[in-house]
Structure 1
Amino acid sequence: MATGGPRGPGRKPPKREPSGSSRGRKTTSARASAAAKKPVSSGSGPQLTTRAIVLLSVVLLLVASYTSTLHAWWEQRGDIQSSKAEIVMRKQAIADLEDEKDRWNDPAYVKQQARSRFGWVMPGEVGYRVIGTDGKVRGDVPTLDEPPAATTPQWYDKLWGSVKQSGKTPKAVKTEDPNAVIKKQ
């Protein structure tokens, strides 16, 4: 019985080419190009692997965390800008008030304000007012504001006043004659 080897009876073993031959490379490259030309049979498009899903979820988590941080930074930046603008505005208001205070220290400015606001005149001057046919003064007539009305004390002020009074010692009342008896009539 003739056995042809491990492949069965009557088969010849394949010829092996040396490892440096070009024919072996051609068949390997032909197989690779054939495999590359072979279409993917799934038909559902690109499939996500587990690594891609994990990577995508990590990227989305980072984007979400940086978005909230960026939002907070943006709000704080706006607050800083508005605070700086308010500081500049307040400094300008302080400078204006200091300038007005300096003007009130000038006696000439005080005289000018008294003349324009209250209609005052200096001793020896004569003040004139133009009166219309209806009997009212024409033009810009300075007037004083009404004095504030006397306010009645609030109930809690009265209550506190009575609490304060109750803590004081009563004053002695003087009588003319301590031995005098009051007569009833």
Structure 2
Amino acid sequence: MADRRTSSRASGPRGRTGPGRPARPTAGRPARPAAAAPVRRRPRLTSRATVLVVVLAVLVVSYASSARAYLQQRSELDALRAEIDQRESAIADLEREMRRWQDPAFVQQEARELGYVMPGETSYVVLDEDGEPLEASSELADPDEVGDQEEPAFWEDAWASVVLAGRPPADDGTPPLTEIDPGTDGAPE
């Protein structure tokens, strides 16, 4: 036994190597080459890797939902800003209109368009052939261009019906009229 102690102390502790000390083979056993050592395969997905993947997935999902909410709020904010701009322009238009109504000349012009006249003035309304007032945008024709339209005498219409009764139109295969059209002179079409 004494031999063993001295030989183990001389070779150093088994399996340990210190800085600067190479690993020496133990007495009686030859050193194994590194390639001949059995390689122990580690599983591709360890429990640590699984936990890391799960944590990353949770983070991605939470950031994605937060990003979606952020983008939705940005679009709502843009829509509200556009609405604010639209309302501010409407307010500016109304303020401009209010300043116009404080001008006496503008008020007088608007009153004249509604048909009001100043004290001492006389208002005339021009009527068309149907008796309806003409609109301000209408233009009157020159009386020299219109000419006189004389109504035909009543006997001319009566004589035309006598002539028509004496010479009826040739039968062209059209059925007789069942109603009289008030816009025609009574002659069939």
TM-score (norm: length of structure 1): 0.48
> Larger relative contact order (C-alpha < 8 A, sep ≥ 6)?
1
